[in-house]
Amino acid sequence: MKAGSNLEKILEAGKFAVTSEIGPPKSANANVIRKKCGMLKGFVDAANITDNQTAIVRLSSIAAANILLQEGIEPVAQMTVRDRNRIAIQSDLLGAAALGVKNVLCLSGDHQVFGNHPQSKNVFDIDSMQLIRMLKDMRDEKKFECGDEMDVEPRLFLGAAANPFADPFEFRVDRLAKKIDAGVDFIQTQGIYDVPRFEKWLNEANDRGLTEKVYILGGVIPLKSAGAAKYIKNKVAGMMVPDEVIDRMKNASDAKQEGIKIAIETIEQLKNMKGVHGVHVMAIEWEEKVPEIVKESGLLPRPTA
């Protein structure tokens, strides 16, 4: 065991993992997080805590992860390289590990032009690839990025993102291979609507033996409306939504229910794909729907690690 997290144990045992996501509030209100924990408890193996997603200031991911620990849900603390240099990241993750956080997701982070402080200075001292390697070396070699040694290392199960829908497509499996080489343990993919494109990426990863070296959790984002589907297709860089999905949302009598149905169907497909080891359900500001999605996908009860 690398970190001994619940998520790691479930994946190591060869069981199909379920993770979800909690977006912290744009305030110091801990109760928002506690309420979302109440919705997810018993339905997921771990929950990601986003790190100022879309560069909008929110309660800190590590502080929120600590609240999850108090509530009995295992956190995956997201960490971007947008806002912190290597000094701050190492320090924050030593702190996270000391609090009992055992999973981290290493990300570049959305550029700050998208957020509510577009005039801020970004950092990008290291990139997400280098973040993975840095945390691996801290864990496995007990070494800081500079090479200095430490007594007690942060035992972290290391995650990263993969986006089969971004370009250049031919490089996307190469990039996965690089993340594996850097030391990643699990991958959560961008939200999947274009299943054939995802399969194309996955098949190449399978052919290259990569899915035997890393756990892949397929990303699923339930749609709330046809408008949201169109917005994601046209406005969100690095995402793809096929026209038939948009049409289904448009023609549905109950669009929200149709969105849930599409998510469940996608999970059913993912469950049967070689090389997929779990799902990551991102119900953005819709966390209350996660139990229904997990239940209807036949993924209950969640195994005890």
Partner 1 sequence: MIVGDRKPMDEILEMLEPYENILILGCGTCVTVCLSGGEREAAILAGQLRIWGKKEGKNLNIMEHTIQRQCEKEWVDEMRGHVEKADVVLSLACGVGVQLVAEMYEEKAIYPGLNTTFMGYPVVHGTWLENCRGCGNCVLAHTGGVCPITRCAKSLLNGPCGGSQDGKCEISKDTECAWQVIYERLKKKDQLDWMNSYQPPRDWSTAGDGGPRKSVKIEEVID
Residues that bind partner 1 (CB under 8 A): 81-82, 86, 108-111, 113-114, 122, 124-130, 133-134, 145, 161-163, 165-168, 170-171, 174-175, 177-178, 181-182, 190, 237-238
- Range 128-133 contact pairs with CB under 8 angstroms and sequence separation of 24 or more: 128/81, 128/160, 128/161, 129/178, 129/179, 129/182, 130/81, 130/182, 131/79, 131/81, 131/89, 131/106, 132/106, 132/158, 132/160, 132/179, 132/182, 132/183, 132/184, 133/182, 133/183
Apex 262 CA angle, 257 and 265, nearest 5: 125
Minimum CB distance to partner 1 smaller for 68 or for 187: 187
- Least separation in angstroms between residue 252's CB and partner 1 is 27
Minimum CB distance to partner 1 smaller for 127 or for 140: 127
- Least separation in angstroms between residue 38's CB and partner 1 is 31
Give the largest Cα separation in the chain, rounded.
Answer: 61
Question: Residue 207: what residue type?
Answer: D
Minimum CB distance to partner 1 smaller for 106 or for 293: 106
- Least separation in angstroms between residue 110's CB and partner 1 is 7
- Least separation in angstroms between residue 188's CB and partner 1 is 11
Minimum CB distance to partner 1 smaller for 81 or for 96: 81
Q: Are 161 and 131 in contact (CB under 8 A)?
A: no
- Least separation in angstroms between residue 131's CB and partner 1 is 9
Minimum CB distance to partner 1 smaller for 127 or for 207: 127
